[in-house]
């Protein structure tokens, strides 16, 4: 950049985790925490390893070209390159990809008509920074976060009326596809810190990182899970889940509005049944998820090497 910018003018701010910030940050910090052997975002092809993970499309296409030239032995993509096999000029169907990471098991169903892609795919979630997503210790207020990502405003208002009927004041947070596209993490963390619970309105989630962040703040979630027809980038499909990793200790599901009030009353009456932060610490921190992905990649690369070795 410096030859294109006048001396003394600050360079453009660069993200320390280019690509999908949450996925890249979690993996890089998790791999560092487990002392893994890896090279992050190498600037020279001379520094490139024989095994490459490229969850960003420009890098993935570059890596595929390098593999065709014999510079790379094993190439891994996903989970944020594309959702559908024909999305982004069919980037997921590059024949050089050896392994495709998907965010949860239900995503496999989107590849039913592309068996080669289905054969390559394996589910592995992304972790979160449990040190950042941690309660301040201030007393909870009689509020509930309403995380509004899908459905019209009338639907959201009906949900808020039900929340009030259960004795809590709703705190609405408007969300959209993307990484905190309409709000910052500090705002989200503050709302979670004061809330008794959270109600999530999303037509589908491949993983639901915002849910995991709420659980890390020890906030149980009541998740609208219609499992119906959904839309992504102009394409409709059958959604598999709005909370793929929801468990009995992290929250409850509901589909119809008439189910929400009894669900909320039940959650408030039996708050001790929920231990969402403990679940995250046991299953979905940066370190845990990075180790799982690292093991998937290492075992796949080793198997490929053995297949290519005579009598291996």
CA pair distance 253, 137, nearest whole angstrom: 27
Q: Which of 221, 220, 224 is nearest to 205 (CA)?
A: 224
Residue 312 is predicted with a pLDDT of: 43
pLDDT, one tens digit per residue, over 88-113 is 999 999 999 999 999 999 999 999 99
Residue 7 is predicted with a pLDDT of: 63
The two tokens of residue 91 are 């980037």
Residue 140 is predicted with a pLDDT of: 95
Q: Domains of the chain (ranges plus CATH)?
A: 21-127+286-308 (3.40.50.2000), 143-282 (3.40.50.2000)
Label residue 6 by pLDDT band (50, 70, 90). low
pLDDT, one tens digit per residue, over 129-142 is 999 999 999 999 99
Other CB atoms within a 10 A radius of the CB of residue 276 amount to 24
- Classify residue 42 by its DSSP letter: -
* Average pLDDT of the segment spanning 59-74: 96
Give the C-alpha distances (Å, rounded to integers) separating 73 from 54, 122, 228, 310: 13, 19, 40, 16
């Amino acid at each position: 950049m410096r030859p294109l910018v006048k001396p003394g003018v600050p360079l453009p701010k660069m993200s320390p985790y280019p690509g999908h910030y949450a996925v890249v940050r979690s993996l890089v910090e998790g791999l560092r925490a487990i002392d893994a052997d890896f090279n992050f975002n190498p600037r020279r092809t001379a520094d490139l390893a024989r095994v490459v993970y490229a969850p960003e499309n420009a890098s993935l296409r570059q890596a595929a070209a390098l593999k065709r030239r014999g510079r790379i032995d094993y190439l891994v993509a996903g989970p944020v390159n594309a959702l559908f096999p024909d999305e982004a000029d069919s980037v997921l169907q590059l024949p050089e990809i050896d392994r495709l990471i998907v965010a949860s098991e239900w995503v496999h169903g989107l590849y039913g008509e592309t068996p080669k892609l289905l054969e390559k795919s394996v589910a592995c979630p992304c972790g979160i920074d449990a040190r950042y997503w941690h309660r301040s210790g201030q007393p909870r207020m009689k509020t509930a976060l309403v995380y509004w990502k899908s459905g019209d405003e009338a639907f959201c208002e009906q949900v808020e009326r039900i929340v009030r009927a259960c004795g809590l004041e709703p705190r609405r947070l408007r969300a959209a596809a993307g990484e905190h596209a309409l709000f910052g993490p500090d705002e989200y963390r503050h709302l979670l810190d004061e809330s008794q619970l959270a109600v999530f309105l999303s037509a589908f989630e491949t993983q639901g990182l915002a849910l995991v962040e709420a659980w890390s703040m020890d906030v149980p979630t009541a998740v609208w899970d219609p499992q119906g027809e959904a839309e992504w980038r102009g394409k409709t499909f059958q959604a598999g889940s709005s909370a793929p990793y929801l468990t009995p200790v992290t929250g409850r599901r509901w589909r119809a509005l008439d189910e929400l009030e009894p669900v909320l009353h039940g959650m408030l009456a039996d708050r001790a049944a929920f231990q969402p932060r403990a679940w995250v610490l046991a299953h979905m921190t940066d370190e845990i998820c990075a180790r799982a992905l690292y093991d998937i990649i290492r075992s796949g690369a080793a198997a490929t090497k053995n297949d290519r070795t005579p009598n291996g």
